[in-house]
Amino acid sequence: MSPQNYWVAPLVIKTILYKGEGQLDVGFDDLFDELKAFNKPPIDKWHPVKVVQIDLVVKANGEWFYQGSIIGRHRLVKLFSTVLRKEGDSYYLVTPQVKYRIDVEEVPFRAVELNRRKSGFDEELYFRTNMDEVVMADAEHPIVVEIDENTQHPLPFVVVRDGLRAKISRSVFYELVEMAQPKRAPCEDGIKWANGLGETLITEEGYESLGVYSGGAFFSLGEM
């Protein structure tokens, strides 16, 4: 998409989010004005001090809502996602002058498609998110599997960029499980497993970790 066409989107968003009393929410108005000069927003260079809370929520299913109404146009949500940053436990839409705090129910993205290249230790796993970003799982973009405390079911994620996670959809996770293989490394306290975060998971002697390789790293999906 050309730079000129890329910034048609903010004008459309303004129309969609226009408030009935004839005033656009000031936070979004400022956001559009600040972003329209950029083709690819360099948010890594933006560190504004001013923070404004806006009524935008990313639901657990990946849908984005503004003032209680869904933002239905996918290209507009993708625009928001390009300036999304996580700081601590908070999420912001970042501009050169202002950070707009938003609410995220779980994680901002969903991993909806998986593609495999190569095989064995050299295998590469590429995830496509609901924002149409493609990321290869590796040491900087690890696959992380947590356990839901209430259901004890696995909660799989992949790190997309700068600490922003995508929840791996059930169908994609089943694909990972089907291709998974065991890995074991003996140590004094039992068995050590790499979990992709620079940490080590230790299981009792005799257990094996089931996982996948990608980008030269092994990512545990859990114990067998």
Q: Which residues are CB-contacts of 198 (< 8 A; sequence separation ≥ 6)? A: none
Domain spans, the chain = 3-104, 109-223
| Under 8 Å between Cβ of 15 and 80 | no
CATH 3.30.70.270, domain 109-223, yes or no: no
Q: For residue 132, what pLDDT is reported? A: 93
| Three-state secondary structure call for residue 17 | coil
List, in order, residues 6 or more apart from 26 with CB less than 8 Å away.
none
Q: Give this prediction's pTM.
A: 0.76
From first to last of its 224 residues, the chain has per-residue pLDDT tens of: 333 333 333 333 343 344 333 333 444 555 555 555 556 778 889 899 999 999 999 999 999 999 999 988 888 888 889 999 999 999 999 988 889 999 999 999 999 999 999 888 889 999 999 999 999 999 999 999 999 889 889 999 999 999 999 999 999 999 999 998 877 544 444 444 444 444 445 454 444 678 999 999 999 897 64
Write down the CATH superfamily of domain 3-104. duf1285 like domain (3.10.540.10)
Nearest Cα to 92, choosing from 26, 46, 143, 40?
Answer: 46
Distance of CA 221 to the CA centre of its chain: 18
pLDDT score of 19: 38
